Amino acid sequence: MRILWAPWRISYVTKANSLAKECIFCRALNGSDEEHFVVYRSSHSIAMLNLYPYNNAHTMVAPKRHVPSLELLRDEELLDLFKTVCLVIEALRREYKPHGFNIGINIGHVAGAGIESHIHVHVVPRWSGDTNFMPIVAGTKVLPEDLRSTWNRIRKALADLTHR
């Protein structure tokens, strides 16, 4: 058996049962940006890093209002949500220079929604070569940057964009 050390996961493992009952987006809205890796807040939306990212800088954008599906959002919330998605894309382009993006919304458990009760948009930057032999041969994904560094970089890029 190969052992992969991931000491940062202990906080998740020890809190998993209590955290599973709470919405991560609502908890982040009421908490500190640093603790919840929130990179941006707009009038109707919040953008935060995915703690278990598919790729570096994997960001999630959610409306502040707790709703399970897009059609339940008011026009101003929907517009703000997608303006925030566009702002995150622009910040990631400037800071990380990805070759492309996967942008996705999963509505409902069968569609792959890990958090069904609060709609959110995944913004995943992609690079040529970000899929290599490690996932195929070792069943392991390598993320070359820690979340705190990613959080600092994206927050700065977003602040630069919104204060031009």
Rounded distance between C-alpha atoms, residue 69 and residue 90, angstroms? 25
Q: Which residues are marked as active site?
A: 120
Rounded distance between C-alpha atoms, residue 133 and residue 22, angstroms? 36
In terms of Cβ atoms closer than 10 Å to its own Cβ (0-12, 13-18, 19+), residue 40 is buried
Rounded distance between C-alpha atoms, residue 40 and residue 28, angstroms? 11
